[in-house]
Amino acid sequence: MIFNSINYFFFLAITFVLYYLLADKFRWFLLLITSIVFYLIGSPIISFMVPVAIVLCTFFCGVLVEQATNPVRKKMVYLLGLFTNIGLLAFYKYINFFIQTTLESVELLKKLFGAKDATVHASLVLNILVPLGISYITFQAIGYLIEIHRGSYKAERNIGIFASYLMFFPKLFSGPIEPAQEFLPQVRQKHEFNYNQVVTGLKRILWGLFLKLVVANRLEIYTDAVFGNYTFHTGATLLVASFFFTIQIFADFAGYTDMAIGSAQIFGYKLMENFNTPFVAKSVTEFWRRWHISLSSWVNEYIYNPIVFSYRNWNKWGVVFAGMITFLILGFWHGPSWNFIFFGFLQGFILAVEFLSRKIRKRLRSKIPALLNDLLGIAFTFTYFTFSSIFFKANTLYDGFQILKRMFTIKGSIYYENPSIMIFSIIGILILLAFQIKEGYFNKNFSLFNNEKWFIRNLSYAILVIVILLIGVFDGGQFIYFKF
């Protein structure tokens, strides 16, 4: 069930009414049941067994790790829980990639050693259905186990409440990757109907819907048409499509996140923010502190910091090494293919460059006006992310390089099949960028959506609904991050 479907709004409305009709002590249980229903709609029961296994394994390992007095036993149970989660994720999401890569490596080696017939396989693909949300569920489960093992968080003793943490439907398929220590205490809190919270949540859902239907889905028409047939398009078209894709992926994922946070909020739950106006970032390092924050925080806490600590003797090269490894994993997390790994590499590479050149850049910055410095930083960050996102969008690493090559070699005009697609796309982008700039720089100034006057505030949201009805794309596809 996707968030921008009518089915979801029916589901949400029914759950909302039932939730506040029930006594407070049963509300978390209702959310657990509805989350299971949410998962099972559109997902075969066999796929559901995977999150069930993750919940059971993580819950019992968490309790046993906490109870264990023998350090060896504690470590063993901890590793069992960790490797079960990593194993399930690796098997369901990456097994075909590993098989193909191994076989291709064998072929390559045979060729290198001069074998006459180097072919060792035709095509071996295991027909496995990747369970929805597996990347998000396992990352939260792993984070939970690490915190228990570190002793910084107490293991949850109620399996139902623990299951409602991993399975909570607003964040089930695409996050945010919520730390247990932030979420679990909320389950035990009293959740009375709170007018302000419900209204803020509903407004957040509406804004998310706007981002998805008006901006992301509209841009998707253009980017899919161009990248899907990139061999027919000129460099200028590919360049425009690349910039559009950067905005599209932001609008798509930020739209999803707004809907997830808003949905949680109407039930009295607070999920962590995933974005903080990333397009006003003045460096790629800053960008990653503003983009997909829940994932960057997770990898920072559980991958980057431990590596930096382990390699502290390497001094600055330890930081560079940790950054590179972290971003390679982050790239690979997005999908089992080389283009995602390369996307991660590009992020790690530029972060290393920014880290190593920070003193020189600071000296240079002092010589140019602050505004110009900011603008140059923003432009560079946006452009760099746009170019690296080509590998995010491309089906293969080869396609990514071909798109880049064509971008700089094939001359010709910009493709637009239908002027209204281009015009509506630009309108959507301008609204989005205006909002980003306002949020980033003029947040305390006049606001329509947070106006003091009730009528103006609500009229602004009513107009937002009208804009969605007027230019939203209702036949658009799935959220991009659902596949991760």
Partner 1 sequence: MQPDFNRIKKRPVQFFVIKLLIFIAMVVVLDFAVGKILKYFYFKQQSGLQYRTTYSMETTTADILVFGASRANHHYRPDIFEEALPQYTFYNVGRDGNSIFYHYGVLKAILKRYTPKIVILDFEHVSLAKDETSYDRISSLLPYYESHPEIRSIVNLKSKYEKYKVWSKIYPFNSSILTIAIGNAELNKTRSNDIKGYVPLNKIWEKHLEYDTNTVIKNILDSNKIACYENFLKDCKERGNKVFVFVSPYYVKFKIPDFSVTKGQEIAKKYNVDFFDYTADSFFTSNRRLFADLVHLNDSGAKVYSKMVIQNIIDSKK
Contacting positions for partner 1 (CB under 8 A): 6, 20, 193-196, 198-199, 419-420, 423-424, 450, 452, 454, 458-459, 461-463, 465-466, 469-475
Task: Read off the tokens for 46.
Answer: 């066999």
Rounded least distance, CB 20 to partner 1, Å: 7
Q: Please say whether the dihedral angle defined by the alpha carbons of residues 141, 147, 150 and 155, taken in this order, is positive or negative.
A: negative
The residue (of 323 and 472) whose beta carbon lies closer to partner 1 is 472
The residue (of 14 and 368) whose beta carbon lies closer to partner 1 is 14
Task: Read off the tokens for 33.
Answer: 């049941």
Which residues are within 8 A (CB) of 393 and not within 5 positions of it... i.e. 6 or more apart? 223, 227, 242, 245
Rounded least distance, CB 66 to partner 1, Å: 39
Helices (H), 69-216: 71-89, 95-112, 134-150, 159-167, 180-188, 195-210
Helix (H), strand (E), coil (C) string for 284-304: HHHHHHHCCHHHHHHHHHHHH
The residue (of 379 and 469) whose beta carbon lies closer to partner 1 is 469
Rounded least distance, CB 250 to partner 1, Å: 22
Using CA atoms of 35, 38, 43, 45 in order, give the dihedral in degrees to the nearest 10.
50
Question: Is there a contact between 356 and 320 (Cβ–Cβ < 8 Å)?
Answer: yes
The residue (of 364 and 426) whose beta carbon lies closer to partner 1 is 426
Instruction: Report the amino acid identity of residue 384.
Output: Y
Exposure on the CB side of residue 437, measured as CA atoms within 13 A: 9
Closest by CA position to 263, among listed 212, 200, 178 = 200
Rounded least distance, CB 99 to partner 1, Å: 25
Rounded least distance, CB 452 to partner 1, Å: 6
Rounded least distance, CB 191 to partner 1, Å: 13
Rounded least distance, CB 424 to partner 1, Å: 7
Q: Please say whether the dihedral angle defined by the alpha carbons of residues 287, 291, 293 and 294, taken in this order, is positive or negative.
A: negative
Q: How many CB atoms lie within 10 A of CB 189?
A: 11
Query: How many secondary structure helices (H) and strands (E) does the chain include?
Result: 21, 0
The residue (of 383 and 418) whose beta carbon lies closer to partner 1 is 418
Instruction: Report the amino acid identity of residue 431.
Output: I
Question: Is there a contact between 322 and 299 (Cβ–Cβ < 8 Å)?
Answer: no
The residue (of 129 and 465) whose beta carbon lies closer to partner 1 is 465
Q: How many CB atoms lie within 10 A of CB 394?
A: 22
The residue (of 443 and 450) whose beta carbon lies closer to partner 1 is 450
Rounded least distance, CB 453 to partner 1, Å: 9
Distances (CA, A) of 465 to 182, 214, 253, 258, 353: 33, 11, 20, 16, 44
Rounded least distance, CB 35 to partner 1, Å: 24
Residue 274 phi, psi dihedral angles, 5° rounding: -105, -20
The residue (of 430 and 462) whose beta carbon lies closer to partner 1 is 462
Rounded least distance, CB 51 to partner 1, Å: 29
What CA–CA distance (Å, rounded) separates 146 from 181? 12
The residue (of 117 and 452) whose beta carbon lies closer to partner 1 is 452
